[in-house]
Structure 1
Amino acid sequence: MPDPDIAHGWISSPDGRGTLDVIWSCTFTIVLCSWSVLCLNIPRRGKGYWKTLGHKSVWVIFTIVFPEVVTALAAEQWSSARQSVADFKKSRFVQQDCMWSIKHAFFADMGGFMLREPPPNTSPAPRFKDIPIDAVQILWLAEKGYINWPNISEEQIRDKNKADGFARLLTVIQIVWFGVSCLGRAAQKLAISSLELGTIAYVFCTIPTFFFWSNKPLDAETVEIVHATTSMAEILAQTGSKEATLYDLTPLDFINPPQGLSLLSLFWDGFGYPFLQNTTDKRPVETFPNRKATPPRGLSALELAVGAFIGLGYTGIHVVGWNFHFPTDVELLLWRISGCIIVGMVVVYLFVLAVITFGFKQIARALYGIDANVPNDLRSAVPASAQTAVFALASVLYTTARLYIIIEAFTSLRAQPMGIYMTVEWNNFLPHF
């Protein structure tokens, strides 16, 4: 005999909220958060509007599946920008009234400054087209006298920002309203669906992401040209650096090599293959890939702890639905298993990251008999086949669990407690006289 307290099928909403109201509210909040929160790097020149739109749409899907990763990426880029400003304040350019704020640093790290070699009449013919230079490289090149300090104000950078204030305001209003609605339901002990629970998790990631990227230009497309006083070949020769044939991004990668593992360094190797690809297959690259985040001095223990809190907080919210109602016992079991998988894998990921970051020297000496100077030296010593196997298994397991939680949140609406469709009595919160 069917349970009278369970609403089956599609619930209309003439007198209260129905299935469509739940789906629309949650979907609108998730998509709005995922779209408006993204601050991608400057696209490759000549990419075109539709390709750029398609690229951002792919990242929106990525944000829906891995919102905690986007938050961690924003946090690392914010940390890199802050460290760049701190290094600038210690340089000689402060006394020269040069400008360099966190907006400048973000603009540089997103590919906003392009280095152009001198014309052929003053030096050997340029070997490279314009190449992007990040904040660390700009300071290094200027200190060495290879470029003049970029003369661009915050107002000029702000003009490149295409942030849609209305979309941002709409997102904030929607987040606030959704949060108030959930609090109202909790206060009146009304049930919420697993879809609404998942939406709360998205909001949990969106708020800090907005903060970390608040100074990063949105959808900027134009760049500033920085003219070099010396050719690239001469720069490499004078600094004793050999031009690597397999450099990752540009010949200037040696200026800011990876100093340590970041929050996402292992993730990109294992989970982000479709997003790990650079903006172009050409070398040097024409712009920086969106995954680029290279804090000059790595991340502090506090920053790692904040990242761990966000990752565990986002995945942990789903475990709150441990005893939620699902149409079948199998779906409830799979929900619990998926929740345990994503929380457990985040814990394991953070543990491995911490062990490698703080114990890489001892591990490298004990396992491989080598002296490692940076964590990446240890990673290089691990057989590629072993890394591929571990990353592939982790990727499939975590992604499958995440997708199941997302899909089940929608499909479970076919049978939910009647309390899901009861509306909040807001007048109960008003004082009565």
Structure 2
Amino acid sequence: MFSQCLFLAYVFLQLFIVCEAQPTDGNATSVIVDAINTPPKRGWTSGPNGRGTIDIIYSCGITMFLCSWSVLCLNVPAEEDSPFRVFRRRVYVTALAFLGPEFLFQIALGQLISARNSVQQFRNSGRKEEEWTMTHAFYADMGGFKLYSKDFPPFPVDAKQVHYLWTEGYIEFPAVDREEIRDKNKVDGLLRIFTTIQIVWFVVDMAGRRAQNLTITCGELTAAAFIVCSFGTVLCWRHKPADVTTSVAITTNATMAEIICKAGDRAAAPYSRTPLDFVSRKEWPWSIYWSNWINILRCLGIKFGPQVRPVDRFENTHSLELPGNSKWIFFGVTAAYSGVFVAGWNYSFPTSTELLLWRAAASTMCACLVTYWLVTEFGFVWWPWLEKKFRGAAQNATEVEKVTEPLSLVESEWRTSKLRYAAACVRNNTVSQDPQFNVPLKAMLPIYVVGVFYCHARTYLFIADIIQLRSLPASAYDTVDWSKFFPHF
């Protein structure tokens, strides 16, 4: 808790520091055009008596790694998962957080909202505050409770499903003390402390450099952006247990067939993860996009997530819905993350082309965020509304078109069937053709384009962090004179 408080305090300071663009070399135009006025630059610099290139690389690299690794709170693994498999899974999620820390924040925010809703559900059903806390809800949503029935293999149940089974009388209330769940928490406290110290030092050092007009490198700016997203992720997961490897068994005397039959039509559809999907499953635009992308990788032989049904664990990258105003929280943090790169608008680069590419990449990241929202709203909300409203007029126009443009019936049917097949493959590429994963083409095709632009922009920003080091202003290697900030004699 102490480390999180420090983390919160200094990240607010960091947001204030990077909120404005910093021209490190005076007039940015003269840096590009007038070589005479350009301050002296240096390439690789050793740092026996000050800050060297390797110091910059280490400081930025270790900060970004810690922001991606130490903040993770992975779901409970399956019983047969080996330590190596769990470690490999952690590396994969770390890589995802490294490439896009905003994705990890979105997952954490969705889990936070789900946990809060679960606590309220149990409160409304008469349970006391200490009987079902945020820790219980997080533990359930990460696969901490596993249901055992007479006629079905055991499988994990989330918080909503636990509430459903309890209120319907299928199970006893899981009387698990919060401290018992916390005892399962195996997070490395020493690593968290080290992460906090590193982030605090990094933020304070950037503040000092900004105050003394010393050059801040692109790598340091990228690390600051990581801190922004990690701050949000840590806040969302502050009640979630970390590195839990064991689950709690809950048993029911009812058979799964009885539970499904009593649920009626709502449980009639085939399930995607577990037979209790009808209780809590709710796909939303991002989860549909993500499923589409993951299935593209599956077609290439790259498989993620549990391959058995029912699942034996909850996938770590499963993103729960962001309802209502929570979407604006996500967009706000993501905008702050993308906006940090804009702060390097007037930074010094070895060539004017690299400066323009940095500006283009930073602008593209911000534009992709806005475009994603507009395309998603249009494809999932506005277009279905317009289509429903004007469906009659569209049908009449289609009939007129058929009369005024005579085609061979066989040719017309062949073209139509081919187009429909191609559209269906793009719209839904799941193995089971689950209708809940249907993506409107008016959203999916533009999102592909947005994804390509975003990945290229993100990649260039990483590349620029490295290639900028070959020619930096001399002040980039100056250390902060802390004596100017503290009274001394």
TM-score band by shorter chain is: 0.7 to 0.9
Displacement, 1:181? 0.3
Identify the residue that residue 312 of structure 1 maps to in structure 2.
Answer: 335
CA distance in 1, matches of 2:266, 2:79: 28
The equivalent residue for 1:428 is: 484
Q: Which of 239, 246, 265 is the equivalent residue of 2:287? A: 265
Q: What SS class does the counterpart of residue 111 from structure 2 fall into? A: helix
Unaligned runs of 5+ in 2: 1-34, 395-433
> Residue 43 of structure 1 aligns to a residue in which SS?
coil
Residue in 1 that maps onto 2:99: 65
CA shift, 1:393, in A, is: 2.5
* Amino acid paired to 2:58: W
Q: Alignment partner for residue 164 of structure 1, among 185, 188, 212?
A: 188
Cα deviation for residue 113 of structure 1 reads 0.6
Deviation at 1:111? Answer: 0.6
Matching residue of 1:99 = 131
Provide closer, same or farther for how the CA distance between residues 30 and 211 of structure 1 changes in structure 2, counting only shifts above 3 A. Answer: same
2:345 partner SS: helix
Q: Once the 2 structures are TM-superposed, how far is the Cα of residue 318 of structure 1 from its aligned partner?
A: 0.5
Query: 1:363 deviation in Å?
Result: 4.0
Deviations along 1:10-32, one digit per CA (max 9) or x if unpaired, are: 10112210100100001011101
Match of 1:87?
121
Map 1:282-293 → 2, pairs under 5 A? 282-293=308-319
Paired letter, 1:60: T
Equivalent residues in 2 for 1:185-196 (5 A)? Answer: 185-196=209-220
CA displacement 1:296-345 (0-9 Å, x = unmatched): xx5232x2221111011101110111111112222222211111111100
Are 1:17 and 1:423, in contact at CA under 8 Å, matched by a contact in 2? Answer: yes
Partner of 2:178: 154
SS at match of 1:226: strand
What is the SS of the residue equivalent to 1:225?
Answer: strand
Alpha-carbon distance change, 183 to 368 in structure 1, aligned in 2, over 3 angstroms: farther
- Match for residue 48 of structure 2? 14
**Which residue in 1 is equivalent to 2:365?**
342
> Aligned Cα RMSD in Å?
2.8
Listed as ranges, the matches of 1:245-284 within 5 Å are: 246-258=270-282, 261=284, 264-265=286-287, 268-269=290-291, 279-284=305-310
In 2: Cα distance, 1:11 partner to 1:221 partner: 46
Distance 1:205-1:402 versus aligned 2 partners, 3 A rule: same
In the alignment, which residue of structure 2 is the partner of 1:200?
A: 224
Kept in 1, the 8 Å contact 2:287–2:320? The answer is: no
Q: Secondary structure of 1:239's partner?
A: helix
Partner of 2:429: none
Q: SS in structure 2 opposite 1:25?
A: helix
Kept after mapping to 1: 8 A contact 2:289/2:444? no
Q: Residue type matched to 1:201 in 2?
A: A
Paired position in structure 1 for 2:449: 393
2:475 counterpart SS class: helix
Q: Does 1:42 align with 2:76?
A: yes
2:383 & 2:448 partners in 1: Cα distance?
A: 23
Q: Which residue number corresponds to residue 419 of structure 1?
A: 475
In structure 2, distance between residues paired with 1:219 and 1:67: 19
Aligned-residue sequence identity (percent) comes to 35
**Which of the two has higher C-alpha Rg?**
2
Name the CA distance, whole Å, in 1 between partners of 2:319 and 2:439: 23
Per-residue CA deviations over 1:118-171 (Å, capped at 9, x if unaligned) read 3xxxxxxx1x31011100011011111111111211111011111111111111
2 CA distance for matches of 1:270 and 1:38?
Answer: 25
1:343-358 correspondence runs (5 A): 343-354=366-377
CA contact (8 A) 2:275 2:310 kept: yes
- Seen in structure 2, the aligned counterparts of structure 1 residues 50 and 316 have a Cα distance that, compared at 3 Å, is same
Closer/same/farther in 2, CA of residues 363 and 158 from structure 1, 3 Å limit: farther
8 Å Cα contact 1:201/1:318 also seen in 2: yes
| TM-aligned CA distance change 1:346 to 1:267, over 3 Å | farther
**Which residue does 2:20 correspond to in 1?**
none
TM-score of the superposed pair, with normalisation by structure 2: 0.78
Aligned residues: 411
* 2:419 matched residue in structure 1: none
CA contact (8 A) 1:33 1:202 kept: yes
Q: Secondary structure at the match of 1:132?
A: strand
Matched residues in 2 for 1:367 and 1:219: separation? 53
**Partner residue in 1 for 2:148:** 116
What is the distance in 2 between the residues matched to 1:86 and 1:201?
Answer: 34
Residue pair 1:270, 1:391 contacting (<8 A) in 2 also: no
CA contact (8 A) 1:17 1:421 kept: yes
Q: Does 1:408 align with 2:432?
A: no
Q: TM-score, normalised by structure 1?
A: 0.87
Cα-to-partner distance string for 1:35-73 (whole Å, 9 max, x where unaligned): 001111112221211111111111111101100111121
The yes-or-no answer on 1:5 pairing with 2:45 is no
Distance in 1, matches of 2:371 and 2:245, equals 39
Q: Which moved further from structure 2: 68-77 or 4-13? A: 4-13
- Residue in 2 aligned with 1:28? 62
Look up the match of 1:382. Answer: 440
Does the 8 Å CA contact 2:53/2:469 hold for their aligned counterparts? Answer: yes
8 Å contact kept, 1:147–1:227: yes
Summarize the Cα distance change of 1:284–1:104 in structure 2 as closer, same or farther, 3 Å threshold: same
In the TM superposition, what is the alpha-carbon distance from 1:100 to its structure 2 partner? 0.7
2:264 alignment partner, SS class: coil
Structure 1 runs not aligned, ≥5 long: 119-125, 371-375
